[in-house]
Amino acid sequence: MEQEIRKTIVVNQLGYRTTDSKIAVISGESRSFRLINKTTGEAVWEGLTGTAREDASSGLTVCRADFSDWKLAGVYSLETDGGQSSDLFVIGEDVYEAAHQALLKAFYFFRCGIDLEETYAGEWKHGKCHLTPAIVYGEDERRVDAWGGWHDAGDYGKYVGPGAKAVADLLLAYEYYPDAFTKAVPLPETDGVMPDALHECRYELEWMQRMQDTESGGVFHKLTTLRFPAPDTMPEEDNDELYVSPVSATATGCYAAIMAMAARVYEPFDQAFASGCLSASERAWEWLVRHPEYPCFRNPPEIVTGEYGDKQDADERYWAAAELYRTTGEERYHTAFRQLAELAFDKCELGWADMGGYGTISYLLSERETNSDLAEQLRTGLLSRAEQLAAVCRQDGFGISLRPEQYIWGSNMLVLNQAMLLLLADRVAQTTAYENLALDHIHYLFGRNAVGMSYVTGFGSRPVRHPHHRPSEGDGVDEPVPGLVSGGPNLGLQDEYAREHLKGRAPAAAFADVMESYSTNEVTIYWNSPAVFVLSHFV
């Protein structure tokens, strides 16, 4: 159903760690509030909210209730003298661990090509799917056996660029927060040696390797049917002919980058796999060198599945050069990186269409010598972007870095990408200046937002329950697959349901928890992946 703005008290429905700041957002004018212990029913804390102000994104007047000084573990709620109340929430040390595990486990549920067995999938089990070799579009006699990998979203397409973004987020999370991944998910591959996050990423990486053209070294852009199946189609029932779309420079650049990154990360665990990743990366790089200018990808005429087109490929090449230089130390990649850095593209973004931020982070956090004017320029640019985001956070009624016009399709990806960037900026600057602001984005994700919902299936007292996700629609199970991040509010009204039911809503409230509203309530691997990264910092 469509979500009304909740004119009440909104909190992180998972709760707050004992020593973190603890802030709720209350709709309406400033007033007194009380913290209620669920067990005793007693008010254990009383205070006054901050000054009320207009929030441009939600259209609400809001004020904040700060109870950060209360550190006693327990289950609580908030009340005001005006009769408002919050959902229950926990104060404790382990409030995010289960959600972190579920966000990671979601990638297993996205797997294509194998049985999801009850042992690992529980009631969301289903059969193997999409095992037929795919036709190379335009070459009817040629087929590619590209089984495996992750379904991209609520449909069953598989795309190299978005997949590379998702794997990069998970590998970065493992690199920077290894202690967050010591517990088994578990997965079929769990062995107590290699962390499950790396087992899961390997499943996608091996699919990508099947997408590299054996003849040219370039990488096919995507693998899909000609059109999406019906909304309640289970994966194993989607039996239409599969097609791989032509090689693209964006896919090849992303592939070269993520394979070089994987070579570095997997080397301590499996030298043969790491070596194969590096060879695949270098072969893709050679394709890029032979094709310095290449047409932007567009869907072939008969294919109407997600296009993932791009205006340019300089950012993907830049990322590839950075990762290859970091992994190999070869000067030819350093030279290419410096040359690509002179081109005009965003060097801080972490989205599937703008990969420049991954190249910048790889370069700045490399063990290679990067004390140069270019490194300083990139460092200054990244920290400047972080401060711009921080300035928006300080003005936003709910404490996040989105401006009203940024509530677009997949706004929660922006929420999480920008939280990720704030944490990475702290790492580059060796500070903790943005840690609390990044945590505010987690509070938003799990309920401290204009509609008072947790945007993660299965978590919180008011979670998303009807995502645009075909397995969750078609499996006959009441609850959706847990741990999926919904796309979130979208002022664009880009599906029929949204146009009919959400017109006139404020940007931060243009959301509907219905399967039909794919432009607000779809799920994807690359919305989950930055959520894993950000939560990894806090577990």
Catalytic center residues: 468, 513, 522
Query: 477 near 426, Cβ under 8 Å?
Result: no
The 3-state DSSP composition of the chain as helix, strand, coil percent (nearest 5) reads 40, 15, 45
Of 52, 62, 65, which Cα lies nearest the Cα of 12?
65
| DSSP output for 380-419 | HHHHHHHHHHHHHHHHSTTS-S--GGG--TTHHHHHHHHH
**Pairing outcome for strands 9-10 and 43-48:** unpaired
Instruction: Give 514's DSSP letter.
Output: S
- 453 contacts: CB under 8 Å, gap ≥ 6: 3, 447, 460, 462, 463, 464, 511, 513
Query: 512 near 498, Cβ under 8 Å?
Result: yes
Query: How far apart are alpha carbons 136 and 220 in whole angstroms?
Result: 9
Sheet of 60-66, strands arranged across:
9-10, 23-27, 60-66, 53-55
Query: How far apart are alpha carbons 413 and 150 in whole angstroms?
Result: 18
Of 300, 312, 308, which Cα lies nearest the Cα of 155?
308
Query: How far apart are alpha carbons 45 and 48 in whole angstroms?
Result: 10
Query: How far apart are alpha carbons 187 and 201 in whole angstroms?
Result: 12
